[in-house]
Amino acid sequence: MVFEPLAGTRHVEVTERRTEQDFARMMQRLVDAWYPEAEKIVLVMENLSTHTPAALYEAFEPAEARRLAEKLEWQYTPKYSG
């Protein structure tokens, strides 16, 4: 799920599994379809192993992966520390 609380928008997609390719395709839609005019998109997400810039390089050719990665700023929620 991708959501922007202050704008009251969300995009939900259900996939059979949570793969790097699924995540990468969602990031591509985020950049190209939902926020094409944005200079930078700040992602705040959990520390799931598929939630990395490397997922873009697994799914796309290097030039496309780099184009997407340059539009995204990656922020992770803290891991549980107790």
Q: Is residue 81 part of a domain?
A: no
Which residue has tokens 């997609």?
Answer: 13
Q: Is residue 13 part of a domain?
A: yes
Does residue 36 fall inside a structural domain?
yes
DSSP state of 51: -
In the predicted structure, residue 81 carries a pLDDT above the cut 60: no
pLDDT of residue 82: 53
The token pair at 14 is 């259900």
Is 82 a domain residue? no
Q: What pLDDT is stored for residue 17 in this prediction?
A: 83
pTM, two decimal places: 0.84
The pLDDT value given to residue 73: 95
Dihedral sign (CA 75, 77, 36, 52): positive
Number of domains in the chain: 1
41, part of any domain? yes
| Domain membership of residue 68 as a residue range | 2-76
Write out pLDDT tens, residues 21-54: 999 999 999 999 999 999 999 998 877 777 889 9
Residue 65 placed within a domain? yes
50-73: per-residue pLDDT in tens? 788 999 999 999 999 999 999 999
Q: Determine contact, residues 33/68, Cβ cutoff 8 Å.
A: no
